[in-house]
Structure formats: structure tokens, C-alpha cells
Amino acid sequence: MTWIKEFSKSAASLFKGQVLEGFQPLDFYHFYPLWYDVWMSNIAKVIKKLNLATKNFNEIREILPPPSNMRAILIKTITAYYANPVVNKQNYELVSNFFARLLTESCPDDPFALTSNPLHDNSEIAYLVKQIEWSKADTQSARIIGQCITAIGSFVHGIYNDLVTDFGWDAYGPYALPSNQTLLIRSFPNLQPRELWPEIYLSSINNITIYSAYEGVDWAISFVGCHTISKGRSPVQGMKKFAVYADGKLLDINQISMLTDELAVKAADIYKIIHKMDFEKLKLLVLKQECYQLKKVFDKAGINWLPTGEMAARIENKPLLKNVFPHGKLIKTTAEFENIFGINTFQKEVLGSN
């Protein structure tokens, strides 16, 4: 299966102009390689036990994380191998090919989200547009929707941190509508991870979906849904209609505002806790957050999703790796990205192609 070069084009578009130390709350790329090979082994066991390599996306979509999350796992898999090559490459090959295949099946028109994240086909969109209970947008309501997206996004960054963000935040589209409008679907699943945080800090809603239709606004999604970029008219001016659903129930504009206030406060509370964590507790939290992304798949296989004792031992009282990935360097080209992030090495040593 040939996929890595197309994948790297999209991943590079996300990282161009970025520096690694911008990710918070710790240097993930020098942390994951300490234990990721053990997680790869555990995921490989799940894939084999459930015979997932023979099942298509639609057969198992209910236990899978969102497409953007699968892309994020892929880039971490590649960089973890590059920073800490292992003898048993078969696990990395099996897991990476598995997620790459699912992405080609779930978003066939743009599997690695070079410019879009089209999870739905035309018939699904036509059905959705008819079922949605739309409200007409004006400047005030468009601003309220924007504030709501910001508050939910901040909350997601708190409960899942920078590199697990995509487990709780994805965006699908953009989809062209017959009305010459453009539909964007923002999805915020998994907002109640009780295994990670006490109930008091969690959202009162588990799943939020925001449908927005725009006129004169061009949208691009770069690699992951939370990196959605608009061009042309302001989204506030261009929004024509919207609908917000919380756990399947339509919210009115007052309920949307109340939800915004709730999640803004809870996001601030969670950030305060994270900032007070000592280094060892922070490492354990990030380890647990990463494993949590595949909880449904592990549960289906009857295998404990929690970090294993070996994974915890790998990080206990251990410093992060150093100098594998450069700090302070702005990545300018795809070729630079492929070299720095080990794309070429992974392709040759794990996937077996030059």
C-alpha cells in the first residue's frame, strides 16, 4: 500500500511555519518515543484479535476515532519510530497501514486532508441538509456561534492537550450545496472523558455538532479539522444559516450562549490544574490521554486500554529525549519536513519502499 508521500504533503502543510516548542504542555515529540513502540505492539494485538485488517471503515466506524485523530496518530507513529527505531518493525507497519487504509476509505476524495476533510458523500450531505432544523443567521448569531466554537475548542485543548485535540474536535467539508452556499460541519465528540478527569471539570454535554452554511466564504481544512482556514468574506458576514445539536438535541441561541459560558469556565479551571502539575504527573496524564483515543477499539477486543506497567516504567523519573527534532526551526518545505520528521526513514525501513 503506497500512501506515505501523499500523507507527508498534507502533514507538511500543517507544520510549515511552526516550531515544535509551540505544542503544549510538554515536548511531545521527545516524549512519545520513550514508550510508543509498546503501544504499537498493543494496537497490533487488537488489530489481529478483531481481524480488523479485513474489515472496511463502515464496518467498524463506530469504534474508531475521528479521521483527523487517525492522521495525528499516524504522524506520531512515524516520528516515534524515527526517534527510537526498534527491531520489530512489523507492528509499526501493520498499525500505520491500517490507519492509512481507513483514511482512504473514510475520506476517499482527500484522505489525508490536504485541503478538505470530506467524510460524507453527496447523498449523505443531501439527506443531512434536509433533516437539519436550520436557523437563519445574522451578524449577532454568527458571532455567538464563533464564540461557542472558541469555547469548545479551548475546553478540548484542556481535556486532551495539543496533540490529542483531534479526538475531541474535527471538522468535515467543505461541502458545496445546490444553493451556492458552502456547508461546514464542526464535530466535538467525546467531551466527557470520565476516565481522565473528575466529573466536576467535564462538559454537561458529551457530543456537540455545529452545522454552518456560508456564502462567499472559501474554506480549507489542513490535515486536521481544528486547522480550518477561511478566505474571502468574513465568516461572520458570510454565515447564512446554522444549527447546533448537543447530544442530538437542537439548541436555541440562548442555550448556545449558556453552553459557551459553561465550557469557557471549565476550560480555565482545567488549565489551572495542568499548569500546577509536576513533571511526573504531567507525563502520566499525557500517556493516559494518548491511550484513551483507542479505548473503544481496545474495549471491543477485551484488552485493557490503559497504559501498561511497562509503558509507565519507561517514563517514570525519565527525562525527555533531546535533540532528535530541532527546536526553534521554522519548517519551510515538504522536503525539509520529510527529512526532519523521519518520513523518508519510515518509508524505507518500515514500509519497505524507496
Residue 135 in contact with residue 243, Cβ under 8 Å? Answer: yes
Residue 242 in contact with residue 211, Cβ under 8 Å? Answer: yes
Residue 218 in contact with residue 157, Cβ under 8 Å? Answer: no
Domain boundary among 275, 293, 318: 275
Task: Count the alpha carbons within 13 Å of 334 in the hemisphere toward its beta carbon.
Answer: 10
On the question of pLDDT at 113 being above 50, the answer is yes
Together in a domain, 156 and 211:
yes
Together in a domain, 225 and 295:
no
Q: Where are the strands (E) in 215-335, listed by range?
A: 217-221, 228-232, 239-246, 249-250
On the question of pLDDT at 1 being above 60, the answer is no
Together in a domain, 216 and 146:
yes
| β-bridge mates for residue 265, sequence order | none
280-289 pLDDT tens trace: 999 999 999 9
Across residues 198-222, what is the average pLDDT?
Answer: 96
Write out the three cell numbers for 354. 524507496
Together in a domain, 126 and 265:
yes
For the chain, the domain total comes to 2
Q: Where are the strands (E) in 113-226, listed by range?
A: 135-136, 170-176, 182-188, 208-214, 217-221
Sequence-distant (≥ 6) Cβ neighbours of residue 57 within 8 angstroms: 64, 102, 105, 106
Together in a domain, 72 and 41:
yes
pLDDT of residue 87: 80
Together in a domain, 143 and 239:
yes
Q: How far apart are CA 65 and CA 53, in angstroms?
A: 16
Burial class (CB in 10 A: 0-12, 13-18, 19+), 123: exposed
Together in a domain, 10 and 57:
yes
Residue matched to cell numbers 471503515: 57
Task: Tally Cβ neighbours within 10 Å of residue 309.
Answer: 9
What global pTM score does this model have? 0.95
159-192 pLDDT tens trace: 999 889 999 999 999 999 998 999 999 999 999 9
Domain boundary among 215, 248, 275: 275
Q: What percent of the chain has pLDDT over 90?
A: 85
Together in a domain, 155 and 296:
no
Burial class (CB in 10 A: 0-12, 13-18, 19+), 193: buried
Across residues 209-232, what is the average pLDDT?
Answer: 93
Together in a domain, 198 and 286:
no
Q: What are phi and psi of 230, to 5 degrees?
A: -110, 150
pLDDT of residue 20: 66
In a domain, 117, yes or no: no
pLDDT of residue 13: 87
Q: Which of 156, 264, 154 is nearest to 207 (CA)?
A: 156
Rg (CA), the chain: 20
In a domain, 354, yes or no: no
In a domain, 165, yes or no: yes
Pairing assessment for the beta strands 217-221 and 208-214 based on DSSP bridges: unpaired
Note the helical H segments in 18-117.
36-49, 57-60, 67-83, 90-106
Stretch (H or E) spanning 347: helix 343-349
Residue 8 in contact with residue 343, Cβ under 8 Å? Answer: yes
In a domain, 27, yes or no: yes
Q: How far apart are CA 104 and CA 124, in angstroms?
A: 18
Residue 20 in contact with residue 340, Cβ under 8 Å? Answer: no
pLDDT of residue 241: 97
Together in a domain, 258 and 174:
yes
Q: Where are the strands (E) in 133-223, listed by range?
A: 135-136, 170-176, 182-188, 208-214, 217-221
Task: Tally Cβ neighbours within 10 Å of residue 184.
Answer: 23
289-298 pLDDT tens trace: 999 999 999 9
Together in a domain, 327 and 339:
yes
Domain boundary among 222, 257, 275: 275
In a domain, 141, yes or no: yes
pLDDT of residue 162: 83
The overall average pLDDT reported for the chain is 94
pLDDT of residue 354: 42
Write out the three cell numbers for 136. 437563519
Question: Which residue range forms the structural domain that includes residue 183?
Answer: 122-275
Q: How far apart are CA 318 and CA 322, in angstroms?
A: 12
